Structure 1
Amino acid sequence: MRVYGIDIIRGSVRSQSKRPTYALCRIVDDTIVSETEVSLFRLLRILEAEEPDILAIDSLQEVAADTKEVYLFLQSLPPGTDLICVTGGSEHRESLAQVAGRYNLSFNRFDPFAEARTSAQVALLGAGCRVVAFANSSLITVSRRRSPGKGGWSQNRYTRKIHGAVRAKGREIEMHLIEAGLQYDMKEFRAFGGSSRVIFHVNAPRSSIPIRNYRGSDVQVQITQQRLERIRFVPQTSKPGYLIAGIDPGTTMAIALLNLDGEPVHLSSSRVTSVADAIAEIMVHGRPLIIATDKKEMPGTVEKIRRSFNAVPFIPKSDILVPDKYELATGSGYRNDHERDAYAAAMVAYRHYKNKFASLSKRLPPGVSLDEVRARVVRGLSLEQALTDLQAQEIPPEDAVFEPAEEKPVPDAPRPREQDEMVRRLRMLVSELYAESQKKDEEIARVRRLLNGERSKKKERIQKDAEVVRLQGIIANQKRYLRKEERRNKGMRKQLERLKAYADLKQEEDLVPLKVLEALSRDAIRRMRSEMGAHPDDWIYLLRTDGWGMTAIRELADVAIAGIIVPEQALLSPDLVTAFREIRVPIISGEGLGIRIQGSFGACLRSSLMDRHARWREEQEQYERSKKAESIEDLFKSYRYMREREVKRGG
């Protein structure tokens, strides 16, 4: 059997400037023949010339950039060559290292020749999927190799020659199809002197047709297959893989399936699952080698399922505790407690056999199916017996050669005294082996006690660490809260100091305390209220009058202050003065008031302020009287206008 494996060294099928170069490994009848470096064009020429049985790759991306190129690449392969993707199909992909590990093979991941060699070896052992892109029907097209053209005096003779060659080639292909016993439909396009084209629809794959693509001087033959709607990946071996099944029975039955490497394959639960449904669901994913439960006595439902598969039972020494189930099922994505229990049972069974499986992988020779050996060892065979059983299965019965055994001389039977001596020696050997076995059992019991003690200490340490983490989180939260309160306390102390200074100024008979307002805006007003508070008898010193708005003025009106003092150089617009007169809040210039400002508060002379305030009140009374007069005058004008309209309407 000829198996070729390839792996890309440099370049890419997607690149137009740097085309790919491959490492090609040829294996013929389990022997590595050669390892060479080839281009894609050279690879196709080698495959066409040598026609291997299998071309093994670890990814379709190495030979084709998209689905269209996959079809073209498969069309360019010889009919008898299967393209095998050793890492699996599109639904379930594995790495090459995982696939090689199942056959106890190791390789250098950074060496393209090692990857090509490993791909060929695992494909030869039955790993991977065959890439199928065409249906089991073919189309053979026989057509002209060149066009007749316009021609000259001999144009008719030249045309008859080409069309006659096409018809003759069609008849030849038809005879080959009849000899091969293939069903076909033929469609012939008649032309001057013969046929311009002959098409055969053959109900057989391309590999079964005894015809090859042909390009002659006058005629060409092209064989194509009908493309499938989507590329399919067909496993080389139809034998399902071995599984470790954890089952939690009851009203809601849960099933957890792991492979022999402990990787999750399936996890589900249902309230209407019967024993038959559970068996059918497990069979979809593989063959259960071990069926486990989380109870120390296997339930009857699980026993029925186990017997149907003739699987090896696994029962824990005691019921698995709930905390242990949570630990075992971490990361499994279970949706309820039943799935958690089933997954935990499967994981306990896997951990029980984990060391034995690891020991087998170290002792096995390369190229042996690790899962098959594991299955036989779990069922009770020794490693040597498992290997012998596998080798016996690999030799087909019809190819087995049976030769008569050579007759050997039968030794003389031992005499009675010799038999007694042999029995005595065997009994001594048995007693020694029994004593050695007892010592090993005692050592195992001692080590188990030590292991249980270490596990208990580790569990206590884990619980202690978890409690420490929890308390550290509480301490961190309290520290953040403490820092926040300290900042708040600091701000309140500053505010208290300002209020004390402000209260001291209030005690002065010849001074009036002022609260400083940065600007006539809502934010500035709210900031002043939060820092200094607000009272109806407060005087406000306004630093800037620009950018004022009615919203801010209404905010001041809600505070109900005594008045506003502006700097000497501030220009008061008539609109601003009118707005403050409307809300009856005094706005006074600071000229001649002896204002002193320190931070967020200040002071001015009381006598000057009172004089200025009294003058403002007089102006306010005059403003209100003029406003009332205007209002009465407007009312009188409105009344007179209405009377004039009535008189005109009556006249």
Structure 2
Amino acid sequence: MPMLSKVIMGIDILPMSSSSSKRKPKYAAIIFKEEKIIFKDEEITLRKLNKVLTKYKPDILATDNIWELAPTQESLQNLMKQFPPFKLVQVTGSPSQGMQPVHKLARRCGIHLTSHPTPIETAEICVRLVQIGIGFEVALFEKETQIRISRTRNIGPGGWSQNRYRRHSHAVILQSTRDIQTQLDEQGIEYDLSVRKADYGLDKSVFTVYAAVSDILSFIKSYNGSTIQIKVTPIKKKEMEFIPLTAQEDESPPLKSLIVGVDPGTTTGIAILDLNGKILALRSGKDISRRDLIRYIAKLGSAVMICSDVSPLPKYVEKVANTFNSIIFRPRKSLKVSEKQELVNNYLQNSKRKVSDAHIRDSLACALKAYFSYQNIFEKIQKRIREMNVDVPLEKVKVLVMRGYSIYDAISILTFKPEEKEEETILEQTQHTDTDRVKELNEKIYLLIDKNLQLKRNFDDLHTKNVKLEEELELQRIKISESQERLETVRSKSFYRLRGERLIRAQEKEINHLRKVISELKDQITTLENQISKLERKSVILEELERQRLANKIIILKVVENFSKECLESVELFPNDVIYMLDGSGGGSSTAEQLINNEISAIITNTLSHNAYEQFKNSGIYVIPTEEIQKDLKIRAGIYYLDKKIFDQKLKMYKQRQHEMSRQEAESWLQNLVSDYRKRKDTS
């Protein structure tokens, strides 16, 4: 039985009791641990029920009707907040799947019951049904927690004290936000952060933490102080969810491919288009969590592309894109308001749709920008399909092209089917050969696609590092701003009037210290800016080299430090790769076999052992001495590469040389064989 090892409580309301009545309702309750009854009470109030739950800590509370506990969803959620954590299960069904009386369920499942079960017997039946996997878990809360940090009171009107209090509260909210960020990062808990910036720090911050409130309260508590308040609360579900205890098969239709524009913030804007540019949804709302957004998108389809109107990309958008494994579209520079207005107005001029706020406008603008960047390609796809007269799903071709495939490759992948055998032997053999050839070509296509995707991932990694450096740069700028503010406060005239000479000297010392801090932070900013500049230059070089490689102008070499197993395993090798080995000495038969198994095409090295050389030669792998290509070798951004024509010439020369050596060795062997034969004949 799937739930037999759980601690399960069953309850049933007593006759003449009601959760909506002014009189306190009473219940019959029973707790099972495996097959043993560890608690039983035929009349218990909610207050006593809470104490029993705290003492026995059941995994599941089972009932035949959740509304016996509270009359509304909100009151039920408030009641559950008072109890220790457990799963609430309704055994009689759900609104969407239908309800059945508890006695009918018991009879169907072979559970013994009397003709008129008492409340305590009904409570036991609820436990027995859960033990065999009957029932629906009632999900009232998201597995998410909101942490809200704000001022305890309003600043109030007028006066120097008002400014001082405002500065202080903004700084405390900023520091508290950083402290909570640090704690969540140390615990490895995922979260989204929305802030409202202020003159001297933050006016408010809201964390949406993707963990249950019970996990968060173990290290972050609610707090109400004289300056700020911190509220830690579970996020209620807008609609209750009934989850079957036993998994059910889901026969869902194919998902529609979507382009999704997101404008994150305290108020989040969402725009969803299909791949024909049709608007499917426009929405905005306050404090929309990432999971809420993901669920909303998933109801409409699968997000092929997630778009933003700003650069660098917000983390919120990046995390949503990673969930769907989506392509990310972002402009090189953040879109201007005038550009966004023009995009949206031109697109909606003949439409009845209206954009209700700036957040929807921004999300729609970036989605349209992404769609228009592919519009001409989509038209070419339709034209190519008509020309080729093939039956392929247009939307799937578009998705493959968006993911980096050429139009021809995308159509080929979707139309590839091994042809049926013909009756005639000649046609059958021809068809078999053609099919093998197609398979071989497809395998090569997939290898090239994998290589291309690997380079793109490398580029994305560099971009992510770039974004992190820019964020760190922004943090250093905030620190400088705070230091300058403290410097101005220390040097104010009112401060000098109120303090004596001793305090003045101390504050001047503080000023000098702060100046030093500012200077150090500026140096850090300069260093970070230089790192960002280097990464950007490296990204441009990598893109250029990839274009040249795809155009068959260069060959990129896989660099290996030395001929050892560890070095070979540290490099990702593919068939037909060219290896540039800095030190070829020391390699034995097993390391040579490792390269042969990877089906590389050539090795450039010096000081290679005779055994390894013979193994490579016998396996059709050509060994080119380093000095032959030294003057032609080029290095950019740590990438070693050769001109394709020059490499092909060198390879051809060494193929001819190796062929000539093999021919000479064969002639020498034949002459020796004839000579030995003649000697034996003469002696006989």
Bigger RCO (CA 8 Å, 6+ sep):
1
Normalised by the size of structure 2, how large is the TM-score?
0.30
Normalised by the size of structure 1, how large is the TM-score?
0.31
Structure whose CA Rg is larger: 1
